[in-house]
């Protein structure tokens, strides 16, 4: 979707929070039948962060949100909407957004969650754009936060090596210059839902002794099928977002793909014929932190001074649903 000339939203603050505990591949070698070499060669992951037993998703999201507000020179009372993307909410209800609102002391501003898997942050950006440009809201705090290690089956060697915990946040406002969101593209296909899902815990399979014994409350993934669709859909989204923005592949200064697997990241870069130095990756440090991966990546690029005025940044993600999306952005 191409944006109306002269009207766009931009990021005015960024923040992240990751737990202190680090789980290395060497640690995993003691837990399941795997090896550091096997994990790195297939995923690119060397370590991941793990939340403590008493931490919930909102705890991470609150800290990331505070940093984003400080970065933007704002206080919680200056925000008029909170959106949290997550697949691991503190509670089914209230929303994690409401717990974050309470923790930040943001008053009675509306707050809610987006459940779009790893694509949730980009879905949130697209939604925030409509709300800001319509005049409904002025400043939105958008957070992506996950505690995937709490729904990971630590006896499944194929999935337990992949996931970590973390949160990233941005403040979004209407742009007063040429910077900001240039275009977006978002899609979903519910026919692919069972390739990556948490079977139990909702109304389809409520919690019972049997559902717990069958490990249905853990994340289930058909890895090879997910890989195939992810590569195709992320490439599609990236190309379409560039087309809508009137940009060419050569215009991209940085590709920020969802950090799911190094092979998927590299395949997306090849689809766009981008040199390796333009494809951002931090998966070696955090693993797959789902909806938090793109906002964490934005923050790190910004903090490292790699984002310069006018840079074209292409963000792209896929996730459970299946969902997929891309955003073309001028820094």
| Fold for the domain defined by 9-177 | Peroxisomal Thiolase; Chain A, domain 1 (3.40.47)
User: Could you check whether the bond before residue 94 is cis, i.e. omega within 30 degrees of 0?
Assistant: yes
Q: So what's the pLDDT on residue 312?
A: 98
- Which residues lie across from 49 on neighbouring strands? 22
Domain positions in the chain: 9-177, 181-330
Parallel, antiparallel or unpaired: strands 140-147 and 111-114: unpaired
Q: So what's the pLDDT on residue 6?
A: 67
Residue 160: active-site member: no
Rg of the chain over Cα atoms, rounded to whole angstroms, equals 19
How many residues does the structure list for the chain?
331
Q: What are phi and psi of 240, to 5 degrees?
A: -70, -40
Judge if pTM exceeds 0.75: yes
Residue 258: active-site member: yes
Q: So what's the pLDDT on residue 1?
A: 66
Alpha-carbon distance 321 to 143, whole Å?
19
Residues of the chain scoring pLDDT < 70: 1-6
Alpha-carbon distance 243 to 223, whole Å?
30
Q: Pick the catalytic residue: 25, 220, 288, 299?
A: 288
Q: Pick the catalytic residue: 137, 258, 261, 299?
A: 258
Q: Pick the catalytic residue: 25, 98, 118, 220?
A: 118
Q: So what's the pLDDT on residue 8?
A: 97
pLDDT in tens, 111-145: 999 999 999 999 999 999 999 999 999 999 999 99
Is 60 in contact with 20 (CB distance < 8 Å)? no
Report DSSP state, residue 196: E
- DSSP-derived 3-state class of residue 300: helix
Q: Could you give the angle at which helices 120-133 and 293-303 cross, rounded to 10 degrees?
A: 80
- DSSP-derived 3-state class of residue 159: coil
Report DSSP state, residue 151: G
Q: Which two tokens stand for residue 240?
A: 């379409």
Q: Do domains 9-177 and 181-330 have the same CATH topology?
A: yes
Q: Which two tokens stand for residue 178?
A: 């040429």
Residue 284: active-site member: no
CATH of 181-330, one of 3.40.47.10, 3.40.50.300, 1.10.10.10, 3.40.720.10: 3.40.47.10
């Amino acid at each position: 979707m191409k944006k109306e000339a002269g009207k766009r939203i931009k990021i005015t603050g960024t923040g992240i929070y990751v737990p202190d505990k680090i789980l290395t591949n060497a640690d995993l070698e003691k837990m399941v039948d795997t090896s550091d070499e096997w994990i790195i060669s297939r995923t690119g992951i060397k370590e991941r962060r793990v939340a403590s037993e008493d931490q919930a998703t909102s705890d991470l999201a609150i800290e990331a949100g505070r940093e984003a507000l400080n970065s933007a020179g704002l206080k919680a009372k200056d925000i008029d909407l909170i959106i949290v993307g997550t697949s691991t909410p503190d509670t089914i209800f209230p929303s994690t957004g409401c717990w974050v609102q309470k923790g930040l002391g943001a008053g009675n501003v509306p707050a809610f969650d987006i459940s779009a898997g790893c694509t949730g942050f980009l879905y949130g950006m697209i939604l925030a754009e409509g709300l800001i440009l319509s005049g409904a809201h002025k400043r939105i705090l958008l957070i992506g936060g996950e505690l995937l290690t709490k729904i990971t089956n630590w006896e499944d060697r194929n999935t337990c090596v992949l996931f970590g915990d973390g949160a990233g946040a941005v403040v979004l406002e209407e742009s007063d210059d040429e910077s900001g969101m240039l275009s977006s593209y978002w899609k979903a296909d519910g026919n692919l839902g069972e390739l990556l899902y948490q079977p139990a815990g909702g109304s389809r399979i409520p919690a019972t002794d049997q559902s717990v014994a069958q490990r249905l409350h853990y994340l289930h993934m058909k890895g090879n099928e997910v890989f195939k669709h992810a590569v195709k859909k992320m490439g599609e989204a990236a190309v379409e977002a560039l087309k809508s923005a009137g940009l060419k592949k050569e215009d991209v200064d940085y590709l920020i793909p969802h950090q799911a697997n190094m092979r998927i990241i590299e395949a997306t870069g090849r689809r766009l014929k981008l040199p390796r130095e333009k494809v951002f990756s931090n998966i070696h440090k955090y693993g797959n932190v789902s909806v938090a991966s793109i906002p964490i990546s934005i923050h790190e690029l910004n903090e490292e001074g790699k984002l310069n005025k006018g840079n074209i940044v292409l963000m792209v993600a896929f996730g459970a649903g299946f969902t997929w999306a891309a955003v073309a952005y001028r820094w």
